[in-house]
Amino acid sequence: MITRRFLDFPDFGWRNPFEEMDRVRRYLDQVLGQADAGYRIPQAGVFPLVNLTETKENYILRAELPGVNAEDLDIQATGRNITISGQRTIEPDPNAQYHRREREAGRFSRALSLPGDIDREKIEAQLTNGVLTLTIPKSEKARPKQIQIKG
């Protein structure tokens, strides 16, 4: 306040310098929200959901694949990457009226990059109760090595 009086700065009040930007953002959110309210398309989530854990010898990847058969899956390993792709089929009931339909059918693909080198020749896969478990051995280079101290 004193600086403004002595140096003759214009008085803008004690407003936040970003207040005008916030006001414009709120206005655009309101306008765009009303514009697409009637045209919203449901967004597909990431499928399949996965957990990736690590032990001293292996990476363990668990993917949720309800309604997918083993013969409908393709698992590829290249470098440090694992790709799970396949197709989920859901037979619609022609005599039913849907009130909510969240489970979709169709092709999917999910690629994951692993944190270290892997031994692609020894990967094991198992599908039980809709959960795919991949046991992915680490390469010898990626495994921790105990160093003996001589003395």
Taking only the tens place, the pLDDT of each residue in 91-124 is 888 898 888 877 778 899 999 999 989 999 999 9
The CA-atom distances, in angstroms, between 32 and each of 22, 25, 41 are 15, 10, 15
**pLDDT at residue number 12:** 57
Q: Is the pLDDT of residue 140 over 60?
A: yes
**How many residues appear in the chain?**
151
pTM of the model: 0.64
**Angle 132-138-64 from CA coordinates, rounded to 5°:** 15
